[in-house]
Chain A
């Protein structure tokens, strides 16, 4: 079995002393920053990204993956303890988790979230190891036309899952694509869209854009309302869930794992959709639907497992096709490109130690989170209550140092400031930043495949619909777009996002 040799190689790589340390440090830092109020996973990863620049590719990616799980778990912790979801996917966790915390069951909620996530993560990691290689093999037969269509599907899917207006999200994708093209044209070498500025010849630095939008932008948003009362932390005595709570959690964890694994693979899916879907499923299946929203343990167990499974399987399209399915994956792709790796189907064969090492370290990282979080919970609680005004100056400072260090270039710091302001103002006008970042990252790839496909077809655009796989993919994109544009679906979607 090829997959077992792969997994063996992966563990051999990930269990090296050095990589274990990086995985551990990543998970620890990720949780530490992730539990700070007002910092979601995207901001956390953007903030910690510079720490990995000095590392070789494998430890760097292993550490980033650790940071990602840590940040996810940190987000759930704040959701449960103080009703502040660090990100949209733990909004659901806050519904029942915080209610449990108010009844003194915060410890149980945290423990169940950790164990459910670990179980889901284990299953999803195995699925990733199982499905990524064959998917990559199919992808290797793709020509430029198929790739182009695939990216269109990915972008459209990200749009349909944005919470606001579809048209606005689409516009952000287009703007992202455009700004992603800034810099030298790969074929002619001519500088493009630079407004004559020499410092834009290499395009906008990815880290500066991401940190500006998600780091500075978040800070400014949090400074809007300083009159918020200090947060109340839910009380907890013991971490151990009662036997009844465990019994009620088992099935939701299993269902959440399956649901999350499936939805995570979809481009545009991932953690957010998974947790929402799992919550509404548990509510429907429950014998006591009236308990939901008042501290039902199923409402924590299901979505938390689903969101972790989805987070894991969203690595599948990223690693095999090079397509980011959410902003976190966009950051991962950006980090890989900085490391000189182009994600895509040949990564499994060309760099098997990286691919399998990353998969193994995901499992190890999940395991470490359980070890880390349960005993350290007291420390996280203290971090959760740090007042924001003591926090944001350090974020500003770290953003500056990080962005500068990416290329030792002060122009990037200015870029970050501009994108910070633009991101904040656009968000105030209900234009979401996530689709922008996706477009920005894959803009150059979209153009390259489009140009190659058109070159091969001698300028005949029907190539995208006469090739069956490409046509099928575009059909999916079209259906997705039509479906979200329908008013009836749209109202359902609003309800889901408001719930």
Chain B
């Protein structure tokens, strides 16, 4: 029976095949045209076929050849950094720059185990002040400091 020898390759190759199928479905609904007059779907579809083939090849090789096991994945760091960034994306409009940035900063500090609440708050306060000085005052970027929720 099949035995996975290189999980990295099998997962990676599999992911590529999934990407290729998803994007291929998107390309397939577009007019393909002919090779002389390529439609919008032609080149993407060709690339998807190539990508799927490569993904398959990588995955198949992963069954046959020994490879490394992937190392430790920083789920906590990744999760919190992403939450911090998404927090900014979703609160910038309603809350305004200052609260959104402060929230993002605090969430980001949670990603490291080295923070105490006090240092984190102090650091974020300083960074928000710094960002305001550089980006709003210095560069004049058009930010609303406090959003509609604050009237």
Binary flags per residue of A402-424, CB closer than 8 Å to B gives 1, else 0? 00110010110110110011001
Establish whether residues B92 and A404, one from each chain, have CB atoms under 8 Å apart when the complex forms. yes
CA distance A420 to B111 in the complex (A): 15
A223 contacts chain B at the CB level, 8 A cutoff: yes
CA distance A21 to B139 in the complex (A): 15
Range, interface on chain B? 35 or more
Establish whether residues B71 and A428, one from each chain, have CB atoms under 8 Å apart when the complex forms. yes
A1 contacts chain B at the CB level, 8 A cutoff: no
A469 contacts chain B at the CB level, 8 A cutoff: no
CA distance A174 to B81 in the complex (A): 28
Establish whether residues A223 and B88, one from each chain, have CB atoms under 8 Å apart when the complex forms. no
CA distance A178 to B19 in the complex (A): 10
Most chain B CB within 10 A, of A174, A175, A413, A428, is at A174
In the complex, residue of chain B having the shortest beta-carbon distance to the beta carbon of A51: B139
Which residue in A174, A185, A417, A425 is a CB contact (below 8 Å) of B85?
A417
- The residues in B between 69 and 106 inclusive whose CB is less than 8 angstroms from any CB of A are 70-74, 76-78, 81-82, 84-86, 88-90, 92-93, 101, 104-105
Binary flags per residue of B104-128, CB closer than 8 Å to A gives 1, else 0? 1100110111110000000110011
Establish whether residues A187 and B85, one from each chain, have CB atoms under 8 Å apart when the complex forms. no
Establish whether residues B86 and A401, one from each chain, have CB atoms under 8 Å apart when the complex forms. no
Q: Which 7 pairs from chain A and chain B are nearest by CB?
A: A459-B36, A223-B77, A185-B40, A413-B89, A429-B12, A389-B112, A459-B35
Establish whether residues A417 and B86, one from each chain, have CB atoms under 8 Å apart when the complex forms. yes
In the complex, residue of chain B having the shortest beta-carbon distance to the beta carbon of A447: B43
With A188-B39, A450-B43 already in contact, the answer to whether A416 and B12 are too (CB < 8 A) is no
A499 contacts chain B at the CB level, 8 A cutoff: no
A-side binding surface: helix, strand, loop or mixed? helix
Binary flags per residue of B10-43, CB closer than 8 Å to A gives 1, else 0? 0110011001001100110011001111111111
Segment from A111-119, A190-198, A247-255, A300-308 that makes contact with B: A190-198
B-side binding surface: helix, strand, loop or mixed? helix
Segment from A165-173, A362-370, A376-384, A489-497 that makes contact with B: A165-173
Instruction: Tell me the smallest distance from the CB of A377 to a CB of chain B, in Å.
Output: 24
In the complex, residue of chain A having the shortest beta-carbon distance to the beta carbon of B44: A181
Establish whether residues A413 and B77, one from each chain, have CB atoms under 8 Å apart when the complex forms. no
User: Which residues of chain B have C-beta atoms less than 8 A from A461's C-beta?
Assistant: 35
B133 contacts chain A at the CB level, 8 A cutoff: no
A214 contacts chain B at the CB level, 8 A cutoff: no
Which residue in A51, A223, A458 is a CB contact (below 8 Å) of B74?
A223
CA distance A183 to B135 in the complex (A): 30
> Can you spell out 11 A-B residue pairs with CB atoms less than 8 angstroms apart?
A188-B39, A192-B41, A216-B85, A223-B76, A389-B115, A394-B127, A396-B85, A405-B141, A428-B71, A429-B15, A454-B35
Most chain B CB within 10 A, of A393, A401, A447, A461, is at A393
Establish whether residues A399 and B23, one from each chain, have CB atoms under 8 Å apart when the complex forms. no
With A168-B12, A410-B89 already in contact, the answer to whether A397 and B108 are too (CB < 8 A) is yes
Which residue in A51, A195, A421, A459 is a CB contact (below 8 Å) of B34?
A459
In the complex, residue of chain B having the shortest beta-carbon distance to the beta carbon of A394: B127
User: Which residues of chain A have C-beta atoms less than 8 A from B16's C-beta?
Assistant: 171, 175
CA distance A450 to B38 in the complex (A): 9
Establish whether residues B36 and A219, one from each chain, have CB atoms under 8 Å apart when the complex forms. no
In the complex, residue of chain A having the shortest beta-carbon distance to the beta carbon of B127: A394
Instruction: Tell me the smallest distance from the CB of B126 to a CB of chain A, in Å.
Output: 9
Most chain B CB within 10 A, of A165, A430, A460, is at A430
Which residue in A192, A221, A420, A455 is a CB contact (below 8 Å) of B30?
A192
Which residue in B78, B88, B112, B141 is a CB contact (below 8 Å) of A424?
B78
- The residues in A between 147 and 200 inclusive whose CB is less than 8 angstroms from any CB of B are 165, 167-168, 170-171, 174-175, 177-178, 181, 185, 187-188, 190, 192-195
Instruction: Tell me the smallest distance from the CB of A485 to a CB of chain B, in Å.
Output: 13
Establish whether residues A178 and B36, one from each chain, have CB atoms under 8 Å apart when the complex forms. no
Establish whether residues A174 and B36, one from each chain, have CB atoms under 8 Å apart when the complex forms. no
Which residue in B35, B40, B130 is a CB contact (below 8 Å) of A188?
B40
A54 contacts chain B at the CB level, 8 A cutoff: yes
CA distance A392 to B112 in the complex (A): 9
B57 contacts chain A at the CB level, 8 A cutoff: yes
Instruction: Tell me the smallest distance from the CB of A452 to a CB of chain B, in Å.
Output: 10
Establish whether residues A420 and B35, one from each chain, have CB atoms under 8 Å apart when the complex forms. no
A451 contacts chain B at the CB level, 8 A cutoff: yes
User: Which residues of chain B have C-beta atoms less than 8 A from A425's C-beta?
Assistant: 73
With A178-B47, A190-B30, A224-B72 already in contact, the answer to whether A421 and B82 are too (CB < 8 A) is yes
Instruction: Tell me the smallest distance from the CB of B131 to a CB of chain A, in Å.
Output: 6
